[in-house]
Amino acid sequence: KKLAASIEDDFDDDELVAFAENLENIPPEILLKEEKQKKDRPNNPLFKYRRGVLSVSDLSAQIWCEQQLTYKFLYPFILNDDGEIKRVDDKPHMLRGTSLHLERELEIQIKVTIECKTREDSYGVRLLNMIQGIHGLLTWNKPNERYITREMPIFGNMYGGKLYFRGIIDEINFDPRTNQLEVVEFKTRASRTAPKAQQTYTHEIQVNIYRTLLDELIQGQVDKSLYFQRFNLESTMLLSDSVKNEYNQRGFTNVETLENAFDLLVKLSFQMPTITTNGAIEYILQSDKTWKHRKEFERDERHLEELLIKSEPYWLSKRQPQGVDIEDAYKCQWCDYKDICTWREEKSNEFSRKKRRLN
């Protein structure tokens, strides 16, 4: 269970359950290797909570409130109003959002089950998802119709920084008439109103990260050895027959190892017809999918770079987490940790002291 918990970030829930059920069959040398790697890991939030790889939503959560993100790491379970212990992110509207994402994916793609025996297999499938999406775009032969692929994994360290990211792009579409590539993020809304600027801000950052990661992939700016190192993968280990067969059936022959798959991905990405992407967010109403609100926006690369410079020291334990500024105190109203938050208490004491001085 300990091992299963420590690899939680690398697997989705179903994989994790299957893994935990098979725990007694895991050879002792793998358990020992895992224990050793744990001891060798730097003791900072990046490695302690995220094993060296951040999800793109970690950064948006950090931008929303770094202190809240820290509490989520420390206390991931809360007692809800019905007296049940729940994961803090398992809110009904979030679960509804997940199922709507799946519905949208299935509108244009089918799910295929592939047996994975090793972590390398599971990453081989992730790379295949990317290869398939990009190959589909390269071979698109309908000049008057958009090509669309959904739920494509992405990864990389933007601008060669110390933070390594992974994520899933909700939609990439390509318009052959204009040669424009666009990254689209889907968000669900509970009410039939356009979101406020404070809400769209973190969504825009998320899209901008995806655009940058995709652009870097297309431009060949991906460090192969760093990928294998950060995800702790054996690049030359042979993939299982089930995974190799999937590659073969889709016409990608000669993929025996993860390294072969990675090289194929880079080769195909380099052939993409454009090197920069546009970005958009599509808001859908949870109770009525016909209601939509779309927002397109310009990319501000400098702002993204500045954000990364500000975020990095937190992940590397070079500074303490910070809560929200006084003008963003509205965020505390809905926060699950407001009753224990020391940042909020300090800020409120500071504010009272200032007020007393002014009086």
Region binding ligand SF4 by CB under 6 A among candidate stretches 40-48, 88-96, 278-286, 332-340: 332-340
The CA distance from 299 to 276, in Å, is 10
- Options 41-49, 129-137, 187-195, 324-332: segment touching ligand SF4 (CB under 6 A): 324-332
Distance separating alpha carbons of residues 97 and 118, to the nearest angstrom: 30
Question: Exactly one of 41, 146, 310, 331 binds ligand SF4 (CB under 6 A); which one?
Answer: 331
- Measured from the CB atom, the residue of 145 and 328 that comes closer to ligand SF4 is 328
Which residue among 71, 103, 181, 261 contacts ligand SF4 (CB under 6 A)?
71
- Asked whether position 332 contacts ligand SF4 by CB under 6 A, the answer is yes
Sole binder of ligand SF4 in the list 68, 188, 212, 269 (CB under 6 A): 68
CA separation for the pair 213, 158 (Å, rounded): 6
**Residue 67 found at the interface with ligand SF4 (CB under 6 A):** yes
Please select the residue that binds ligand SF4; options are 56, 65, 134, 255, rule is CB under 6 A: 65
Element (H, E) at 351: helix 342-358
Q: In Å, how far from its chain's centre is CA 115? A: 23
Pairing type for strands 54-55 and 77-79 reads unpaired
DSSP for 100-169, written as a single string = HHHHHHHHH---------SHHHHHHHHHHHHHHHHHHHHT---TTS-EEEEEEEEEE-GGG-S--EEEEE
Rank residues 78 and 335 by Cβ distance to ligand SF4 and give the closer one. 335
The number of angstroms, rounded, from the C-alpha of 230 to the middle of its chain's C-alpha atoms is 15
Question: Does residue 323 belong to the site contacting ligand SF4 (CB under 6 A)?
Answer: yes
With beta carbons less than 8 A apart as the criterion, state whether 228 and 235 touch.
Answer: yes
Compare residues 127 and 324 and give the one whose CB is closer to ligand SF4.
Answer: 324
- Return the number of the residue (214 or 341) whose C-beta is nearest ligand SF4: 341
Give the interface size with ligand SF4 as a residue count (CB under 6 A): 14
Among 48, 146, 295, 338, binds ligand SF4 (CB under 6 A): 338
The total number of residues written for the chain in this structure: 359
Q: Which stretch binds ligand SF4 (CB under 6 A): 36-44, 127-135, 228-236, 328-336?
A: 328-336
Which residues lie below 8 Å from residue 41, measured CB to CB, with a gap of 6+?
47, 48, 51, 52
d(CA 23, CA 11): 14
Contact stretch for ligand SF4 (CB under 6 A) within 66-74, 97-105, 167-175, 197-205: 66-74
Which listed range, 108-116, 142-150, 177-185, 335-343, lies at the site for ligand SF4 (CB under 6 A)?
A: 335-343
- Residues making contact with ligand SF4 (CB under 6 A): 65, 67-68, 71, 323-324, 331-332, 335, 337-338, 341, 343-344
